[in-house]
């Protein structure tokens, strides 16, 4: 199984839609998390078929900012647990493997709001003891060595991030490929790049998928690169290579554009800053 996270800033542009569709065609992910979609539910319902992924749940942007999507292929069993403007959390069920959870996360781009996102992670950590994969754009680095360029990160920002990772015993899954996942695309002394996108997992998750590895994929349309998690490591990579030789994109992917997700919304508010909606129906599967 493979999971991809990509922060790409807006699906309203045809060039970006083509880039995401091409990513899905080429990498054939089982689960895809997208951040900063900048599109509402109705538009995302239409776009998911163009991407070749028949199932999904979406978080609307606030104005023209934000927006999240978690999409998955037919045949993959995903059970939505909760979502907010910072995350989408779900359970994944595979034959022969204990159920595990996946969280797509988007850290606040404004440093002073970032602690609200860390509080969301704190709440999520207390809701389940299942093996946990958490990936996405955290908009933060752990150490100064993870950023290159003129601007320095404040020590308190990195310290807050490290504290969250330590408290919940997350393990950085590392990576293959380029060192930095984001660049501001400026020139000269104004140029900055950093490792803002990554994948963390609990010890029980890494024990469940010991060969798992992370790749920083190439890209051309975003200031962030896609991050791919291969649960079976090189075995997944070999299977993907074989699939690429025979994969075809046909009209069957464009079926039923008017289908709608029905999500039961409930629960509370996080310090007046961020509402979290949870699905209280444990057996309900969210389908596209």
| Residue found by looking up tokens 């992924």 in the block | 53
Task: Judge whether 283 lies within some domain.
Answer: no
The pLDDT tens digits for 12-36 are 678 888 888 999 999 999 999 999 9
* Length of the chain measured in residues: 288
Q: Where are the alpha helices (DSSP H) in 66-188?
A: 114-125, 155-167
Q: Estimate to the nearest angstrom the gap between the alpha carbon of 115 and the chain centroid.
A: 19
Task: Judge whether 287 lies within some domain.
Answer: no
Task: Judge whether 94 lies within some domain.
Answer: yes
- Percent of the chain exceeding pLDDT 90 equals 59
Using DSSP, state whether 127 is helix, strand or coil: coil
Task: Judge whether 288 lies within some domain.
Answer: no
Look up residue 279 and give its DSSP letter.
Answer: -
The pLDDT tens digits for 77-98 are 999 999 999 999 999 999 999 9
Task: Judge whether 285 lies within some domain.
Answer: no
CB contact at 8 A, 211 and 198: no
Look up residue 189 and give its DSSP letter.
Answer: G
DSSP class per residue in 216-262: E---SSSSB--EEEETTTHHHHHHHHHHHTT----GGGG--TT----
Mean pLDDT of 148-171: 90
- Percent of the chain exceeding pLDDT 70 equals 82
**Number of domains observed in the structure of the chain:** 1
CATH code assigned at 130: 3.60.10.10
Task: Judge whether 211 lies within some domain.
Answer: yes
pTM here? Answer: 0.84
Q: What is the span of the domain harbouring residue 257?
A: 2-278
């Amino acid at each position: 199984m493979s999971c991809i996270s990509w922060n790409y800033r807006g699906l309203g542009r045809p060039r970006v839609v083509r880039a995401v569709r091409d990513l899905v065609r080429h990498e054939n992910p089982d689960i895809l998390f997208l951040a900063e979609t900048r599109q509402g539910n109705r538009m995302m319902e239409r776009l998911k078929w163009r991407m070749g992924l028949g199932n999904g749940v979406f978080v609307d942007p606030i104005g023209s900012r934000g927006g999240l999507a978690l999409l998955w292929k037919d045949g993959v069993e995903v059970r939505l647990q909760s979502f907010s403007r910072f995350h989408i959390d779900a359970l994944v069920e595979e034959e022969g493997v204990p159920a595990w959870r996946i969280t797509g996360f988007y850290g606040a781009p404004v440093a002073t709001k970032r602690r609200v996102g860390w509080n969301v992670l704190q709440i999520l950590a207390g809701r389940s003891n299942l093996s946990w994969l958490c990936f996405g754009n955290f908009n933060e680095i752990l150490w100064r060595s993870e950023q290159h360029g003129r601007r320095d990160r404040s020590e308190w920002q990195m310290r807050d991030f490290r504290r969250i990772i330590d408290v919940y015993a997350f393990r950085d899954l590392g990576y293959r490929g380029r060192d930095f996942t984001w660049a501001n695309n400026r020139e000269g002394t104004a140029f900055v790049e950093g490792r803002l996108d990554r994948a963390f997992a609990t010890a029980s998750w890494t024990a469940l998928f010991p060969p798992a590895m992370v790749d920083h994929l190439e890209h051309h349309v975003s200031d962030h690169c896609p991050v791919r998690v291969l649960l079976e490591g090189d075995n997944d990579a070999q299977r993907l290579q074989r699939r690429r030789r025979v994969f075809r994109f046909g009209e069957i992917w464009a079926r039923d554009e008017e289908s709608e997700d029905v999500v039961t919304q409930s629960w509370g508010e996080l310090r007046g800053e961020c509402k979290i909606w949870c699905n209280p129906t444990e057996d309900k599967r969210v389908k596209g």
